[in-house]
């Protein structure tokens, strides 16, 4: 995506949504999944991803789990109960925001 500032504010919601769907994911997997779903349009760098993950963990929305994978240990992130509730709220907020933006930018094709 040309202007990364446009999605920066939604990064936490994107992470929560992915974890809600996938159950548990590790850092690199999140970056790849976003790339895949957005057909390469969104590229979350590790410099943006990990601060976001740590912030969500600090807020009590994410829990971590360490598992042995191949020759190393892997840290998985998953939603806490509070995280599950917060995901619903944040998705609703994001949808409202997108709807408002659509109405502002192009009133003829706003989301129903």
Partner 1 sequence: MAISKEEVIYIDNYLKFLGVKYMDIRLEILDHLASEFENIQEPTSLGDFLRTKRSFVKRYENQWQKAKHWAHQRALIKRIIGYFYKPNQLFIPICIGIFFGFNATLLPKSLIAISFCISLIVPQCIHFYIYYKPEGIYKNIQSAKYILSIMALPSIFMYLMGIMAPIIKESPTVFYAYWFFAMVFNIAGLQEVMTLKRQIVKTYSKLISN
Q: How do 24-26 and 62-69 pair as beta strands?
A: unpaired
Q: Which residue has the tokens 């600090």?
A: 58
Q: Which tokens belong to 12?
A: 């936490």
Write out the binding residues for partner 1, residues 9-28 only, by CB under 8 A.
26-28
Least separation in angstroms between residue 71's CB and partner 1 is 4
Q: Judged by CB under 8 A, does residue 63 bind partner 1? A: no
Largest CA distance in the chain: 55
Q: Judged by CB under 8 A, does residue 54 bind partner 1? A: yes
Q: Where along the sequence are the contacts to partner 1 (CB under 8 A)?
A: 26-29, 32, 46-47, 50-51, 54-55, 57-60, 64, 66, 68, 70-75
């Amino acid at each position: 995506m040309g202007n990364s500032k446009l999605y920066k504010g939604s990064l936490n919601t994107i992470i929560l949504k992915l974890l809600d769907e996938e159950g548990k994911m590790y850092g690199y997997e999140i970056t790849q999944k976003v790339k895949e779903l957005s057909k390469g349009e969104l590229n979350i760098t590790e410099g943006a991803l990990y601060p976001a993950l740590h912030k969500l963990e600090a807020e009590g929305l994410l829990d971590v789990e360490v598992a042995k994978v191949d020759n190393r240990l892997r840290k998985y992130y998953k939603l806490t109960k509070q995280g599950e509730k917060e995901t619903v709220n944040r998705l609703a907020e994001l949808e409202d925001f997108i709807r408002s933006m659509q109405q502002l930018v192009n009133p003829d094709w706003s989301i129903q």
